[in-house]
Chains A and B, each alone.
Chain A
Amino acid sequence: MSDFLWQVLGGFAALGQPEVFAYLVIGFLIGAFFGAVPGLTSVLAIALLLPLTYSLDVVTALVMCASIFMAGMYAGSITATTINIPGAPSSMMTSVEGYPLMQQGKGANALGHAALASMIGGVIGTLLLIGFMPLAAELSLLIRTPGKFSLVFFALVVIAIAQRDALAKSAVTTLLGIMFATVGVDVMEPVPRFTFGTETLVEGIDMMPIIIGAFAISEVLVQAADQRGARIVDVPLEAPPAILRRDFVPLLAEIREIGWGTYLKSSIIGYLVGVLPGAGGSMAAFLSYAEAMRRSRRPELFGKGSREGIAAAETANNSMCGGAFVPMLGIPGDPTTAVVLGVLVINGLQPGTRLLETQLPLIAPMMAALLVSALLLIPLTLFLFGPYFLKIVSIRKAPLYSCIAVVALVGAYVATYSIFQMALALFFGVLAFFLRRAGYPIVTLLLGFILGPDLEQYLRRSLSLNDGDPSIFLTSLDSLFFLVLTAVFVYFMALRQHRERSTTS
């Protein structure tokens, strides 16, 4: 344990290198921009960064990913407060409380509270991550092959049912992701599959074109399809009010009124939600907001500009960042950590239970980056750039999405110097575009693709060890635990809600 802590402290030392720190700041600013602009997400920012990780040192790449993630989660509150359009879905509850404050002329105060809450949530979430990661790693070492299959199965099922209104569709995209993952040489024997007579498919489909296609190219196509309805894109903005830097500092009396208990409880809720596969920042913010409203001494303020509501939502969604990295020991729980997992794989690191044991010096700076981003960069960014936040939303779509298209395509090329990868990125972009238009979630496609090979390997190994008898999944205790957990989640997240909806209608 003490060795672990020393190595984590070494991570902070790595951030002391000017080049790494510069990339941390650049990553934070990119994440803040992508988080603040409605329609752009931190996942897209990390996806666009992915090809560049070939040219970057792995520590630098992971540090950048962490700062983009933290900044993206925080920056969603900016447009949520100023123009009532959440920059990221996780800031929806912030817009419910922040925008009324903005209308009352207290927008800067609301932004200050959002930044303070994001800072507190980010710091506590990261400390919880650092504190509990060795325990999680030790526990994960106890899981044997059948248990590993059931764990991956649990993650995929929970991620699929987390897409509440599109259960069958999310199952389809998850399975589609697994199907794409089976292209190429088999995971257990040297047999090519689904190559359709071409040599280029023998090596399988790379993660890069899927990520770039699904998140970047499809976004460009979606924006092109929408523009006739929305015409000149830019978010309508009437005379932006002037904001002074001193207005951002929250008053001590207001913080006391919110109460440290709210910050702490919201941080814990956010962290725990982050640990769950598929839950994400929106659920963290919503649960924490609902709990804050339930326990509030002034519930009548909720919906009319409650600072407590902003604090609860923003603390939770930033604390979620720490929790989301816990399952990264092998089972990414959300798209951001899935793409970060891609960064690990691209750089030759093997995600999984031994990641902490063997690669901690590379992972520790990423944890340190989460902490520094939350503690220093969130308040600093608000103080320095706060008055200009309103202008972010007046950026025109055409140059923005043209830039995204160029970065995505050239990025897909530079990763492997292969035109085939660029063409695949376009193929997945078109596929994702049609899937999105028909209401299919894309996140599950990516997670199915990433987790598919593990699922197959553990399934076949378990069955081979037991002469093809599937009862091994019920007789192995760790496997049984995850299967029961899957059943519990299916009951509470899908069956019961479906029954309640049917009764109501």
Chain B
Amino acid sequence: MAAKPLAWWRDRNLLVPLCLLLATTIYLAAAFQVSTAFSQGLVDASFTPKVVAVLMYLALLFVLRDALRARRTAERAADETHFADPLKIVVLTAAYIAAFPTVGYVLTTLPYVYLLFLVFRFDERSQLKRIAYTAAITAIFYLLFAEVFSVRLPKAGGWL
């Protein structure tokens, strides 16, 4: 007996094209707002975006058709994706990016790498090893960027 299909909002084969459909609609609406410096008839600055948007709708229709067909015929696909850890990394990375220019490379990279280790469950038994690896990675890339490639990395208070 075929298993019950996933709810549409949990089915990534449907969700991704639907999001893209929405994005394309916003894109097409914005394409109609594009002004032109001088009249060139049909072939102005909004011409290509409009053509691309129409082609995108067509391609998405095919993708949606395939996704709906798969929902009707196939058994519920086993979804091995766990979104909790990627989400943690996205949040961590967003925080890292926000803090990077003001807090500086060293003070942001140290906790960032350490927390990445936690997400990746790196040597859960040895705290010391995690700290040592964190310090080593931060130092190695500091040397690579700042010393080898002479890149000005942001520093907190001008010294770290």
Question: Which residues of A line the B interface, CB within 8 A?
Answer: 52, 55-56, 168-169, 171-172, 175-176, 178-179, 182, 186, 188-191, 193-194, 196, 217, 220-229, 232-233, 396-399, 401-403, 405-407, 409-410, 413-414, 417, 419, 422-423, 426, 429-430, 433-435, 437-440, 455-456, 459-460, 463-464, 467-468
A225-B81, A455-B48 known; 7 other A-B pairs, CB under 8 Å? Answer: A172-B63, A175-B55, A191-B36, A399-B133, A406-B112, A409-B96, A434-B12
On chain B, the residues within 8 Å of A175 by CB distance are 52, 55-56, 59
On chain A, the residues within 8 Å of B8 by CB distance are none
**Residue of A whose beta carbon sits closest to that of B115:** A402
**CB-based contact B151/A414 at 8 Å:** yes
**CB-based contact B38/A189 at 8 Å:** yes
CB of A114, distance to nearest CB on chain B (Å) = 31
Question: Which residues of B line the A interface, CB within 8 A?
Answer: 12-13, 15-17, 20, 24, 27, 30-31, 34-38, 40-49, 52-53, 55-56, 59-60, 62-63, 66, 80-83, 85-86, 88-90, 93-94, 96-98, 100-101, 105, 109, 112-113, 116-117, 119-123, 133, 137-138, 141, 145, 149-153
On chain B, the residues within 8 Å of A217 by CB distance are 93
Q: With the chains together, A419 CA to B59 CA distance in Å?
A: 34
The answer, among B56, B60, B141, for a CB contact under 8 Å with A403, is B141
CB of A4, distance to nearest CB on chain B (Å) = 33
On chain A, the residues within 8 Å of B119 by CB distance are 224
CB of A390, distance to nearest CB on chain B (Å) = 22
CB of A149, distance to nearest CB on chain B (Å) = 11
**CB-based contact A52/B43 at 8 Å:** no
CB of A421, distance to nearest CB on chain B (Å) = 10
**CB-based contact B48/A221 at 8 Å:** no
Chain B CB count within 10 A is highest, among A191, A435, A459, for: A191
**CB-based contact A456/B48 at 8 Å:** yes
**Residue of A whose beta carbon sits closest to that of B20:** A172
Which 3 A-B residue pairings sit nearest by Cβ, starting from the closest? A398-B122, A398-B120, A168-B62
Q: With the chains together, A216 CA to B70 CA distance in Å?
A: 31
The answer, among A398, A426, A459, for a CB contact under 8 Å with B94, is A426
**CB-based contact A182/B49 at 8 Å:** yes
Q: With the chains together, A399 CA to B44 CA distance in Å?
A: 50
Q: With the chains together, A402 CA to B116 CA distance in Å?
A: 6
On chain A, the residues within 8 Å of B13 by CB distance are 438-439
**CB-based contact A52/B149 at 8 Å:** yes
Q: With the chains together, A397 CA to B85 CA distance in Å?
A: 14
**CB-based contact B89/A221 at 8 Å:** yes
**CB-based contact B137/A172 at 8 Å:** no
Q: A179-B52, A186-B45, A406-B141 are in contact. Are A397 and B120 (CB under 8 A)?
A: yes
On chain A, the residues within 8 Å of B88 by CB distance are 224
Q: With the chains together, A217 CA to B116 CA distance in Å?
A: 13
The answer, among A224, A406, A435, for a CB contact under 8 Å with B89, is A224
On chain A, the residues within 8 Å of B122 by CB distance are 396, 398-399
On chain B, the residues within 8 Å of A429 by CB distance are 93
How many A-B pairs have beta carbons closer than 8 Å: the answer is: 177
CB of B70, distance to nearest CB on chain A (Å) = 11
**Residue of A whose beta carbon sits closest to that of B47:** A460
CB of B142, distance to nearest CB on chain A (Å) = 9
Q: With the chains together, A430 CA to B91 CA distance in Å?
A: 11
**CB-based contact B45/A168 at 8 Å:** no
Q: With the chains together, A410 CA to B36 CA distance in Å?
A: 38
**CB-based contact A227/B97 at 8 Å:** no
Q: With the chains together, A168 CA to B57 CA distance in Å?
A: 11
**CB-based contact B49/A179 at 8 Å:** yes
Q: With the chains together, A226 CA to B79 CA distance in Å?
A: 11
**CB-based contact A178/B45 at 8 Å:** no
The answer, among A168, A401, A407, for a CB contact under 8 Å with B141, is A407
**CB-based contact A168/B49 at 8 Å:** no
On chain B, the residues within 8 Å of A410 by CB distance are 105, 109, 141, 145, 153
Q: With the chains together, A385 CA to B60 CA distance in Å?
A: 48
On chain B, the residues within 8 Å of A226 by CB distance are 80
Chain A CB count within 10 A is highest, among B34, B48, B88, B133, for: B48
Chain B CB count within 10 A is highest, among A179, A223, A456, for: A179
**CB-based contact A176/B20 at 8 Å:** yes
Q: With the chains together, A189 CA to B36 CA distance in Å?
A: 8
Q: With the chains together, A176 CA to B53 CA distance in Å?
A: 9
Q: With the chains together, A228 CA to B24 CA distance in Å?
A: 34
**CB-based contact A168/B59 at 8 Å:** yes
**Residue of B whose beta carbon sits closest to that of A231:** B121
**Residue of A whose beta carbon sits closest to that of B79:** A437
**Residue of A whose beta carbon sits closest to that of B93:** A426
The answer, among A176, A430, A435, for a CB contact under 8 Å with B90, is A430
Q: With the chains together, A226 CA to B31 CA distance in Å?
A: 39
CB of B30, distance to nearest CB on chain A (Å) = 5
On chain A, the residues within 8 Å of B44 by CB distance are 189
**CB-based contact B100/A419 at 8 Å:** yes
On chain B, the residues within 8 Å of A52 by CB distance are 149
On chain A, the residues within 8 Å of B37 by CB distance are 189-191
Q: With the chains together, A206 CA to B24 CA distance in Å?
A: 21
Q: With the chains together, A317 CA to B85 CA distance in Å?
A: 36
**Residue of B whose beta carbon sits closest to that of A414:** B151
The answer, among A221, A399, A440, A456, for a CB contact under 8 Å with B137, is A399
Q: With the chains together, A178 CA to B51 CA distance in Å?
A: 11
On chain B, the residues within 8 Å of A191 by CB distance are 34-37, 45
**CB-based contact B97/A224 at 8 Å:** no
